[in-house]
Amino acid sequence: SQTIHQWPATLVQPVGSPLSLECTVEGTSNPNLYWYRQAAGRGLQLLFYSVGIGQISSEVPQNLSASRPQDRQFILSSKKLLLSDSGFYLCAWSFRVRGDYGYTFGSGTRLTVV
């Protein structure tokens, strides 16, 4: 069965420090992968999505970047965090198999920039 792993679960980082959040998917190949951010009291904002290795689409310009070094690995990074980067970050993957269609989320990372 397919599973998605996201870590760490919580993170407190000082302003100006770097960031690396990792997401991996198991049990599938060539998934579409996504990074979302959920600010306090707000909906889900799509940050990046990837349809394959090295293929990254950015939905909004910001202080963050994403990379996909392997088929089932998706990394969210920042060179220097800002206070406004605080939020709840969710990784997701989508599949479409024989008429079924799904979109599954990781458990999220709570990032607090201090």
Partner 1 sequence: AQSVTQPDIHITVSEGASLELRCNYSYGATPYLFWYVQSPGQGLQLLLKYFSGDTLVQGIKGFEAEFKRSQSSFNLRKPSVHWSDAAEYFCAVGSNTGNQFYFGTGTSLTVIP
Residues in the site for partner 1, rule: CB under 8 A? 6, 32, 34, 42-44, 46, 49, 51, 88, 90, 92, 94-96, 99-108, 110
* Alpha carbon distance 75, 60 (integer Å): 16
Closer of 62 and 104 to partner 1 (Cβ): 104
Full 3-state SS string of the chain: CCEEEEECCEEEECCCCCEEEEEEEECCCCCEEEEEEECCCCCEEEEEEEEECCEEEECCCCCCEEEEEECCEEEEEECCCCHHHCEEEEEEEEEEECCEEEEEECCCEEEEEC
Cβ proximity to partner 1: between 15 and 51 the closer is 51
Residue 2 CB, shortest distance to partner 1, in Å, is 13
1 vs 100, beta carbon nearer partner 1: 100
Closer residue to partner 1, CB minimum distance, 69 or 100: 100
Q: How far is the CB of 29 from partner 1 (least distance, A)?
A: 14
What's the min distance (Å) between Cβ of 50 and partner 1? 10
